[in-house]
Structure 1
Amino acid sequence: MKMDSVAVEVDGSVMEGGGQILRVSAALSCIIGTAIKIAKIRAGRSTPGLRPQHLTGLQLVSDLCSGSLQGASIGSTDISLTPGKIRSGNHAADTQTAGSVCLLLQVALPCALYADGVSKLRLKGGTNAEMAPQIDYTLKVFKPIAEKFGVHFDCDVRMRGYYPKGGGEVFVTVNPVKELQPVTLTERGNITKIHGRAFVAGVLPYKLAKDMSAAAVRTIRKEIKELYINIQPLQEKDKAYGNGNGIIIIAESSSGCLFAGSSLGKKGVYADKVGIEAAEMLLRNIRHNGCVDEFLQDQLIIFMALAKGTSRIRTGAVTLHTQTAIHIAEQLTQAKFTITKCEEELSSSVTYIIECEGSGVVNPNL
């Protein structure tokens, strides 16, 4: 890392203007060894600046890359990160709230890929939290697709944690890569399988899990008649901290594409409604005929940007989160993205191809 290099200035309020800008820019800073200054962090949010989960994520990245982090405290709207060498070995992070362990993994995983050996991450917080992927999504949808880029990690869910207490814990082992491979996901194929889990934890009755599952199956059946749908109702016992309920449903296509719908229970919300919400989300993500759902879309941008070669991914409408990730990736790397709209002759569905000429970052530590 060139100590005299000028820090790249990132506007934290641009476009989606949330925690994602922090995660993408901090991870890329760490990987390419460029210092960054992020200003106006979450400026438009009801509680601007860093929340506990963002702060924990930044500290984790700084720890991973032996970096120096300035201005990082709760509520801070300006930080700077000067990265050093990425270190393998053991790293721990604890949001001490129900802040999502999946978002901690989102920022740490790309960095750990460019370490000099295996990294072991111990992440604590919420495993099934609002406004973040559920751990089941990360393992069942994100992980198999990330593996196509050459990303390999194992995740052991030791304890599940829910809002508001958190208390969840996962152990993640990440293998380093020399470089990432580009990925093409443009052929959807047919939906061949739908499965999932409806869970209750703590004091909540098992009947809630059965009701969520049944309502979700009924909703999907209205649109998809012929498939076997298996959504297991589960009572989580010793591996769950606190009370929670929720559902995640996954659809697989003949070409290996994965889609999900999920929902978490809240006080005063009927179990049926939770199940229906997850099912409708899944159906919405299947209808557009793309190859990724709206949540995977933005999570793949950083890997496309780092890969060596051209990646092409067919999606439904391009989300603001995805556009934001592309904006940051192009600002910090040599990657070039283009988005092309495809109108299908036979159906009314519109899809987009996100194409990326990756920057081909090679791991200097391996």
Structure 2
Amino acid sequence: MSQILDIDGSVLEGGGQILRISISLSAILGIPVRVCNIRAGRSKPGLAAQHLKGIQLVATMCQAKMKGANIGSTEIEFIPGKLRGGHYLADTQTAGSISLLLQVALPCALFADSAVTLDLRGGTNADMAPQIDYMERVFRNVLKRFGADFNMNILRRGYFPKGGGHVRVKINPVRSLNGVCLTERGHILDITGTSFVAGTLPIKLAYLMADGAKRELSSEHNVNIHSYKEDRHMAPDNCNGIILSCSSSSGCALGAGALGRRGSDAADVGRAAAVELRDTLRSGACLDPHAQDQVIVYMALAEGRSCARVGDVTLHTRTAIFICETIANSFNYNGFLCNDNA
């Protein structure tokens, strides 16, 4: 296809998410795209290292031609080739989120012509992104509803500011994705979680985070949070955090998490994660805020009609819908349309 679709990178969320979704769908559907005004409203506009590594990863997977793929660029042109299976590497060389690298590459891997192995390096537990444990414990279960899956091996933990984490993900492609209907949550079976410390931090902080979460979830049944200290060989640097997840009788998977900061109260960290999960449960949603925008992309690519019940629709979700509709309306893709009731 010679026509290039122009996408304004400053609309709605106005950040890296527009890039990730646009580049993923470009590679999968074979649509050349030009994203302009990249992160125009940010204090440092243009491509940052995290975004560039994700774009370069997908470009390698589909032998894409690119213009403007450099740090600080406010416009990028991406002309995809065919998605190929194989072994691919990406390293943010910072504490940039491995989960965000996976978000941009995973949909592409599912539509490659053979199995894909991703070796991803950077931050495993980072602010402003799902922790890698969320991707494995929660999002993987959501993805299975579409008839897809991945295997993940966390080889090393990486935290702010050094990074250095290493995650290997193996993906077998699918012929198509199943449409899903996620509107009946049923009752919650249990709530599980892990509360961790790493480096020189005392394990007492892990117990305090777990206690804070348990107190906030005292009205829920079957709450089990495991507190532990990461092995120094697995995680040599300092970090503390908590990840919560739960499953329902209808097969819905929900999660939440929080990371500690220097000077923060450990119990408050646990409470913050618990409040986030509790609010999702009270809303009756079948998807938590971390999964909404990702799931929109898979719904758009799935066969037939998909729908889901959510609580508050996040700005990231509205952005995902906007990108999917922009591509669908521009090129009239049958079976590729997100509408408001998705």
Scaled to the shorter chain, the TM-score interval is over 0.9
Q: Any idea what the Cα deviations from partners look like across 1:2-57, whole Å, max 9, x if unmatched? A: 3xx12100100011111110000000000111111000111111222111110100
> In structure 2, what residue type is equivalent to 1:216?
A
Q: Hey, what does 1:111 align to over in structure 2? A: 108
**Residue 177 (1) aligns with residue 177 (2):** no
Q: Hey, what does 1:231 align to over in structure 2? A: 225
Normalized per residue, which structure has more strand? 1
Q: Hey, what does 2:31 align to over in structure 1? A: 34
1-side partners of 2:236 and 2:116: how far apart? 26
Q: Hey, what does 1:269 align to over in structure 2? A: 264
**TM-score (normalizing by structure 2):** 0.96
2-side partners of 1:49 and 1:147: how far apart? 35
**TM-score (normalizing by structure 1):** 0.90
Cα offset, 1:336, TM superposition: 2.5
Q: Hey, what does 1:249 align to over in structure 2? A: 244
Secondary structure at the aligned position of 2:59 is classed as: helix
2-side partners of 1:11 and 1:25: how far apart? 10
Q: Hey, what does 2:297 align to over in structure 1? A: 302
Cα offset, 1:148, TM superposition: 1.2
What does 1:1-366 correspond to in 2, within 5 Å? Answer: 2=1, 5-221=2-218, 223-224=219-220, 227-237=221-231, 238-333=233-328, 334=333, 335-339=336-340, 354-355=341-342
Counterpart contact for 1:168–1:241, Cα < 8 Å: no
1-side partners of 2:96 and 2:225: how far apart? 27
The 4+ residue runs of structure 1 with deviation greater than 3 A are none
Corresponding pairs, count: 335
> In structure 1, what residue type is equivalent to 2:270?
G
Secondary structure at the aligned position of 2:39 is classed as: coil
Question: Which structure 2 segments of 5+ residues have no match?
Answer: none
Cα offset, 1:319, TM superposition: 1.2
Counterpart contact for 1:166–1:241, Cα < 8 Å: no
Q: Any idea what the Cα deviations from partners look like across 1:268-327, whole Å, max 9, x if unmatched? A: 101111111111111111110011111111110111111111111111121111111011
2-side partners of 1:241 and 1:167: how far apart? 10
Counterpart contact for 1:97–1:166, Cα < 8 Å: yes
> In structure 1, what residue type is equivalent to 2:303?
K
> In structure 2, what residue type is equivalent to 1:100?
S
RMSD (CA atoms): 1.0
Question: Which structure 1 segments of 5+ residues have no match?
Answer: 340-353, 356-366
> In structure 2, what residue type is equivalent to 1:246?
G
Secondary structure at the aligned position of 1:47 is classed as: coil
Counterpart contact for 1:162–1:241, Cα < 8 Å: no
Counterpart contact for 2:159–2:239, Cα < 8 Å: yes
Cα offset, 1:337, TM superposition: 2.7
- Percent identity over paired residues: 51
